[in-house]
Amino acid sequence: MTTTTNTTNTASTNAIVYSVERKFSDVEYLMNELTDNMFEGMGRTQFDEGECLVQQHVMLKASSDQFPEGFIKVPSRFDRGYFRDIANSKVQFRVTLDVSDGVNFLVTFSHRESYGRKKSESSIQAIKDSVNAEFDKHNYVELTKSIVTDEIKKMVVEKNSELVSRAEYFFENNAVTHADDLLTEDNNREFLFLSEQAVTLKKMLNDIEVQQSKLRKERLIEECNKDDREIPDVIKPLFQKALFDAVGIVKKSLFRR
């Protein structure tokens, strides 16, 4: 892991998402604010076959260079094509992402109501008026901007979560070794002295444990010999292996050094 003190912002002038080089050469992703002029309304359509269906399409059409290389991967949530609810509204929306030519977010808004058994023109017209009135309550460019912003932010969070995973792995697996190497390269006298002391102490502790294990063995054999009765045949092999043939009786530990 190499430390760097430079912070590099690779945002282009019209970038939607850009990367910033951080410490240890890690890259963090950040998002610029989306503006209304980035979105293109594609007109409202209405269908009248057994129901009144009104739809509005709004697109954010971006080029691939407005995102860092390798950033855009189509998440599975875009593949299912299901409609989601808008809060406090009967209108629903669906987001699709197309990366075949640039990066295009298409948001489709939809509201429908069946005519059911209503036959009269006045009843059907009342349903049409109700559907359109509900649909007219929203500014679809603003809604699309909010929806697409949320989707891109999710991508940014998912991508940046890789930083957390890498940092966790470093501290769990590599931090001690890396710090030891740096201190050794620095010829840090205190660290080198403590390292030597640690080696000496470990050897001393090991010698103590070995001697304790031998004393345990001797005492158990002494205790066993005080009893003239035979050891049951079924456990003689265990006693032979674990006591008489063993170097010593070692204390078992859940966490072995």
Coil vs helix vs strand at 18: strand
Q: Specify whether the CB–CB gap between 72 and 19 falls below 8 A.
A: no
Are 42 and 150 members of one domain?
A: yes
Tokens of 12: 């282009």
Instruction: Tell me which residue has tokens 């989306």.
Output: 34
Domain boundary residue, one of 92, 127, 159 = 159
Are 55 and 137 members of one domain?
A: yes
Are 216 and 110 members of one domain?
A: no
Beta bridge partners of 103: 62
Q: Specify whether the CB–CB gap between 184 and 191 falls below 8 A.
A: yes
Domain for residue 22, yes or no?
no
- Give pLDDT, residue 48: 85
- Express each pLDDT in 210-244 by its tens digit: 999 999 999 999 999 999 899 999 999 999 999 99
Instruction: Tell me which residue has tokens 């739809």.
Output: 55
Domain for residue 199, yes or no?
no
Are 40 and 146 members of one domain?
A: yes
Q: Residue 49 — pLDDT band, cuts 50, 70, 90?
A: confident
pTM of the model: 0.70
Nearest CA to 46 among 143, 130, 145? 130
Task: Please count the structural domains in the chain.
Answer: 2
Are 208 and 135 members of one domain?
A: no
For range 99-106, the mean pLDDT: 90
More confident residue, 78 or 45: 45
Are 219 and 152 members of one domain?
A: no
More confident residue, 48 or 74: 48
Are 152 and 43 members of one domain?
A: yes
Dihedrals phi, psi of 123, to nearest 5 degrees:
-65, -45
Four-point Cα dihedral 234, 235, 237, 239, nearest 10: -160
- Give pLDDT, residue 13: 67
Domain for residue 26, yes or no?
no
Under DSSP, the state recorded for 61 is: E
Domain boundary residue, one of 126, 159, 192 = 159
**CA–CA distance from 50 to each of 3, 62, 67, 116 (Å)?**
66, 37, 44, 7
Are 153 and 51 members of one domain?
A: yes
- Give pLDDT, residue 18: 95
- Express each pLDDT in 157-166 by its tens digit: 999 999 999 9
Are 235 and 135 members of one domain?
A: no
Q: Residue 257 — pLDDT band, cuts 50, 70, 90?
A: very low
Domain for residue 31, yes or no?
no
Are 124 and 214 members of one domain?
A: no
Dihedrals phi, psi of 181, to nearest 5 degrees:
-60, -40
More confident residue, 34 or 118: 34
Domain for residue 126, yes or no?
yes
Domain for residue 25, yes or no?
no
Are 124 and 44 members of one domain?
A: yes
Domain for residue 187, yes or no?
no
d(CA 43, CA 59): 11
Three-state secondary structure string covering 110-127: EEEEECCCCCCHHHHHHH
Domain for residue 193, yes or no?
no
Domain boundary residue, one of 143, 159, 175 = 159
More confident residue, 199 or 254: 199
Pairing status of strand 51-62 against strand 84-85:
unpaired
d(CA 61, CA 39): 7
Domain enclosing residue 152, as ranges: 36-159
- Give pLDDT, residue 155: 92
More confident residue, 200 or 42: 200
- Express each pLDDT in 60-101 by its tens digit: 999 999 999 989 877 655 655 689 999 999 999 999 998 888
